[in-house]
Chains A and B, each alone.
Chain A
């Protein structure tokens, strides 16, 4: 591979990282907010979110990206491919994160929250000081797993013309008629991107076994 081709791949890798990071960073709190709405059984919103999660979990990311990119204009909103991709990744991962957060919240012993409220803590403080520190630890393995799934599903943005790492590798392969080098290079980049997450997950697993972290 020449320098220009390596640059193409690097640009693709940068886009993959950028889009995934944006999706993850926006999707995490959104998922938590959705989980809280479902946990507290807010009327109307809670069943709507339940339906939303059920539908999104059955929708391929490719389809989701297409839906957001093309239907926005039907409703008179012009949206570029990059915002559309971020929006799709965010809304998609938020649905999965919602289920993970909700699982953690359901396992949380509610007595602790009641006790905190009985001591006169405001609900927001009680949530930040009592609930969240315990719940995020219980949810971390699931959340990290979802992050790596999102990164691996992110090539779906190619359908709206974005050149991410996968698309870049395909382009270089098509231009040089040498499929293997760009493929291996892309694989290397994906491993580099995913490795921190995999290592993090192994560390969490080991740590939680040793210290009964989630108890």
Chain B
């Protein structure tokens, strides 16, 4: 067993490269899906009943799609429509679309409980359009939703592992290549799991940092 872990230690550069890829993919997915989710939540909170219902149905549908199904569609099947994405881009697109739905739902959830007077006051003070959302509506929502967003980020980190199936060289893929080259499955996977755990710990620390900021703002 110790020999197995020594082999993994000799190939630690592969694992770390995988970890870096996983981290980059997670950060990109988080940022993009949070931004798109915020945009989408504006539609979910729109005045028109029809628009709202349609947006909700779209959202519920996307929430029924497993990430891997979407990854398959983007990587293997979009070329049939003349759209060719490499595995990295296809995977990123699939992850972003899936998680946009969840982020939109999270943001809507804490938007609903935001007092109406809050935005009405801002409007009466002359806030309009982008400034209204950027300065008044979203900051308290994002701060209040930080724990839920943090949970979602951990799900994103774990979902990047699906990309090994389309050969994106992220952490799971790196562990699998070490495993298959030296046949040290236990050592390789346990080491990778430890790295995932550290990554998720960082996310948790980020969330507590944001919560402290939120606490300070509330005064």
A191 at interface by CB-CB < 8 Å: yes
Asked if B164 contacts A71 (CB within 8 A), the reply is no
B189 to chain A, nearest CB (A): 4
B175: nearest chain-A partner, CB-CB:
A63
Q: How many residues of B contact A (CB 8 A)?
A: 39
Contact of A57 among B159, B162, B200 (CB under 8 A): B200
Chain B 152-201 interface residues, beta-carbon cutoff 8 Å to A: 154, 157-162, 164-165, 172, 175-176, 179, 185-186, 189-190, 192-193, 196-197, 199-201
A66 at interface by CB-CB < 8 Å: yes
Asked if B77 contacts A60 (CB within 8 A), the reply is no
B69 at interface by CB-CB < 8 Å: yes
B68 at interface by CB-CB < 8 Å: yes
Chain A 44-63 interface residues, beta-carbon cutoff 8 Å to B: 54-55, 57-63
Whether A191 touches B189, Cβ cut-off 8 Å, given contacts A59-B197, A154-B66, A156-B162, is no
Contact of B65 among A63, A71, A73, A187 (CB under 8 A): A187
Asked if B176 contacts A66 (CB within 8 A), the reply is yes
Asked if B77 contacts A173 (CB within 8 A), the reply is yes
In the bound complex, how far is the Cα of B121 from the Cα of A200, in angstroms?
Answer: 39
Contact of B72 among A75, A170, A190 (CB under 8 A): A170
In the bound complex, how far is the Cα of B77 from the Cα of A180, in angstroms?
Answer: 8
In the bound complex, how far is the Cα of B72 from the Cα of A174, in angstroms?
Answer: 10
Q: How many residues of A contact B (CB 8 A)?
A: 40
Q: Which of B64, B81, B186 has the most CB of A within 10 A?
A: B64
A158 at interface by CB-CB < 8 Å: yes
In the bound complex, how far is the Cα of B190 from the Cα of A113, in angstroms?
Answer: 40
In the bound complex, how far is the Cα of B186 from the Cα of A71, in angstroms?
Answer: 5
A152 at interface by CB-CB < 8 Å: yes
Contact of A63 among B66, B69, B161 (CB under 8 A): B161
Asked if A156 contacts B186 (CB within 8 A), the reply is no
Whether A60 touches B185, Cβ cut-off 8 Å, given contacts A155-B69, A183-B69, A190-B64, is no
- Please, which residues of chain B bring their CB within 8 A of the CB of A70? 179, 185-186, 189
- Please, which residues of chain A bring their CB within 8 A of the CB of B197? 54-55, 58-59
- Please, which residues of chain A bring their CB within 8 A of the CB of B160? 60
Contact of A186 among B69, B80, B196 (CB under 8 A): B69
Q: Which of B66, B154, B158, B185 has the most CB of A within 10 A?
A: B66
Asked if A58 contacts B154 (CB within 8 A), the reply is yes
In the bound complex, how far is the Cα of B182 from the Cα of A199, in angstroms?
Answer: 48
Residue contacts A-B, CB under 8 angstroms, 29 given: A54-B197, A58-B154, A58-B197, A58-B199, A59-B193, A59-B197, A60-B162, A60-B196, A63-B175, A66-B179, A67-B186, A67-B189, A71-B186, A75-B186, A152-B64, A152-B65, A155-B66, A155-B68, A155-B69, A156-B68, A158-B68, A166-B69, A169-B69, A173-B72, A178-B80, A183-B69, A186-B69, A187-B65, A191-B61
- Given contact pairs A55-B193, A57-B200, A152-B66, enumerate 13 new A-B contacts (beta carbons under 8 Å): A58-B158, A60-B196, A63-B196, A67-B193, A73-B185, A152-B64, A155-B162, A166-B66, A166-B68, A169-B72, A179-B73, A190-B64, A198-B60
Closest 4 A/B residue pairs (Cβ): A179-B77, A60-B161, A70-B185, A58-B200
